Structure 1
């Protein structure tokens, strides 16, 4: 998953869709400042949709439908993982669905990750970009 849109703009849209599908989501970013920006975006971007969320290091992490974390430990029982910083983690394979967000500078690394799964029959790969407010499947 990619696009010219910053993850702070795109992630709330994904979180809203996860909420509508009654899914819990874990959002991972190693950079604390990115976690802060995502936290703010989840509160502010879709004010008409209350996107309840919290941080893994805060009380009641297990109750959060969207959990922000620095690692792939899903205290909230999420099966949907959003790797918001563009960095693949092996622990991601323990989730049912993984979304890898990256910007223009992360394309080369994202391509390497894509190729990791070339021969895997147990993995379905899809690539989407946000165009004019709609998700468009590219591959």
Structure 2
């Protein structure tokens, strides 16, 4: 059974944190689904992931194309067609406890400056941990990522 990692973004923007986490996930050999709630946010992330920074290009695609199954990273608003072993939830996209059990890891990234995003993340934490999912809460408030809370699987 996988774990859910909650990332409270207060310093780096979503695009920067996502790029780092996707890079590490691909290095681990995982296929990744990035699940959002709106086309606008997925469009923005798609555009940002096409930029080639010093650390290199991140291969990815948008769901609904003919090659979804081949994508190492698939941006989607629903189920992923690339058989992911890691799911990243952005902008409060839903995550079910059963999904966590099928993944190596689920990551929930949320904006620490948005009260609605904070509330959604709290609700997700409560629902997943109540369902017996192991979860870790990470904060970058100090300027570097630190684990602030942990809930063991039951």
Identify the TM-score tier after normalising by the shorter chain: 0.7 to 0.9
What's the counterpart of residue 106 of structure 2? 98
Structure 2 portions without partners, runs of 5+: 1-6, 150-154
Residue 84 (structure 1) shift: 1.1
Moved more, 96-105 or 19-28: 96-105
Secondary structure in structure 2 of the residue aligned to 1:138: strand
- Tell me which of the two structures has the higher relative contact order, counting C-alpha pairs closer than 8 angstroms and 6 or more residues apart: 2
- Quick one: which of 58, 62, 66 aligns to 2:69? 62
**What is the total number of aligned residue pairs between the two structures?**
136
The answer to whether the aligner puts 1:85 opposite 2:95 as a matched pair is no
Match of 1:8 in 2: 15
TM-score by length of 1: 0.85
Query: Structure 1 residues 95 and 38 mapped into 2: Cα distance closer, same or farther (>3 Å)?
Result: farther
Q: Deviations over 1:4-51 (max 9, x none)?
A: 133222111111001111111000112111001111221226343221
TM-score, with structure 2 as normaliser: 0.78
What is the CA RMSD across the aligned residues, in angstroms?
2.0
Unaligned runs of 5+ in 1: none
